[in-house]
Structure 1
Amino acid sequence: MLHMIDGVLCGGEKRGKIGVGIIVCEGKISAVYTKNKIKAAPIKFNLQNLSEDVRGIIVNSGNANAFTGEEGVRRAKIMAEFLASKLNCEVSKVAVASTGVIGKQLEIEEIIKIGENVFGKLGNDEKSSLSFAKAIMTTDRFPKMAYWEGEVKIAGVAKGAGMISPNMATMLAFIVSDADLQPRSSKRILRRVVDRTFNQAVVDGDTSTNDTVFLITTGERKISERSFEKGLESVCEELAKQIVKDGEGAKKLLLIKVTGARNNKEGFKAAKVVASSLLVKTAFFGEDPNFGRIVAALGYSGVDVDEKISITFRSKLGEVKVVESGEVVLDELLARKVLSAEEVEVLIDLHKGNGKGHAFGCDLGYEYVRINSEYTT
């Protein structure tokens, strides 16, 4: 969807497991990176070199360039130097990202070879956006794109399917807008939105070394910070849901919605813990209305909770109240029908206050084990 933003060129190509994607546009860049203490070489390079002014981004898939030492940082720099030479700009105006297997050095010559081909085919159309999205995929089953238009346009592309946990993980997101915002404002807004969207997405509880969300604003249109934050959240939430829906081997998208928490912080925390529970995930994989696993997760979540909670399951196939203020009211046959849908909402009321929060999760089944047991082979 990046073609919807004027002046943005993009494209990508995949050869076997190696993919290269390129975005070219002039603007101001903000970024949020992984909270993992082992940070991949591209993140180290960006933190040391990337300026506020940006001309382009180059990203490779098939190799995370993580746990690769100084040589990994050197190869990340070569990627940046390649695109900078094509754009005739300083290396500090090029951002780098990688995704894939940890602990192996980049096949830098092959990446540059593919990059040369990609650069010669950059475009501002749907085909170019889709080629970029496909080039950065690893175990993803489908490309992920989102778009919002109000006073400004905001377009995003992301990748991610496994190793997804709160605080982001093995996900990359690239968002471009024609908004005119002060860099300090866009950075502040991006962090807030990431906390409510990508940081509330859970597939398996593992936090990667490579998480990155880039936001580029090109400065064509004025917009209030409040309106921009609303649009950005719409794009990031849609991308986060797509990432979770594409969880390795996942069959169901789970939307955990908590109300009645003591405050919003506890609401988000409770939702995140429920979405992270492996026992909750496997129950939904089996379409088993085992609400006890949700109750147990809430009990160890660290938020203020007692037995006077309410739980409801809802999907396009119906709605069923499971627990009402601590009393079990489960209709198992109806619950199983509701849980057989591809998207299920879990509505939890803690009856402790006015706080609320949400998280995006998925079920966990046999295919997840198969994919990850064979990842490097």
Structure 2
Amino acid sequence: MEIVKLRDDIYYVGAVDWNVRSFHGYTTNRGATYNAYLIIDEKITLVDTVKAPFSEELLNRISEIIDPAKIDYLVSNHVEMDHSGAIPAVMEVAKNATIITSAQSGLKGLQAHYGKDYKYQAVQAGETLSLGKRSLTFVATPMLHWPDNMVTYCKEEKILFSNDAFGQHYASSKHFDDEVDMAIVMQEMEKYYANILMPYGRQASQAIDIVKSLDIDMIASSHGVIFRKYVKEVIDKYSYFCNGENEKRALVVYDSMWKSTEKMAFSIVEGFKRAGVECLLFDLKENHISDIATQVLKAEYLVVGTSVLNANILPTVGAFLTYMKGLAPKGKKGFAFGSYGWGPQSLSTLQKELEAINVEIIKDAIKINYVPTKEQLREIEDEIAAIEL
């Protein structure tokens, strides 16, 4: 296997998952990586592992460098199984290794997943572990995105092993930012943040403040490429993601049975355009909710439409709103709209669902019985254009 070196005696030993296309309902159209790092020092240290099916690849990469049985420390920055899944396989070989994890959530989580028979060492925030020539300092980042999360900083090498922070689901035969298309990497980093870390913007902002206080030349995350050239740009981008400020942009998200609600959606888009507001349109039959979530992250307006099905909203719209409820977007404004046949009850349900995800309702739901006329569509457009946005 190719040996990938970050610094002298520091190596990438992770795995590339070319074929994965879903992560808890979030589409990973460019695959993923599960990054792990090996540090050769007086104490040989493995920082994180990989998803369980890739255990053999991890051990093979380590074996190209040293005998895995010589590992002294295994640092587990995060309990989730795409990071910790290979712990049993590693510990089967490195029988004398000590697992370093966060106190107390990391310890509790690892023991729940893998039992209590391993040698664990729970570390506090700010605690430092000497490896010999190098040291590792553990920085707590709780709720980014589990309670146990921490990142690991090597001050001698100016490397931040950042776990999920700065991650991207992006598979590549290259491992560094200056070897790939950074425009794609930035897109995937934004999608990752929007779909996984959006609910934890406050915690992300606090973590960024800590990161900015460190002297960092390299960010080695647990997913995607390693940043060695664009470190400042990446940190600035994350600051932008989590600063809580929205841009003057509207999203119109809908599903339609017989095109009536769709016609209304088009008129709403035209109304926003006339009001000078950039607008994006998403048909839920054609767009995945995780791609829409990426746009929700920074949009000021979220407008959602549905046809009525059995006196309820369409299932696609319900799924989208359930997903949004989990992501808890901040500072959004919007309203509901849609067409109906026998009764408009579901439009009231839709408005209540928007309120449940803390969307500030700026107008009552727009309701059209059956098929909208040209005059009604023009009225919708004029009404939106006239709203003080």
Q: Which has the larger radius of gyration?
A: 2
Question: TM class, shorter-chain normalised?
Answer: under 0.3
TM-score (norm 2): 0.27
Q: Which has the higher strand share?
A: 1
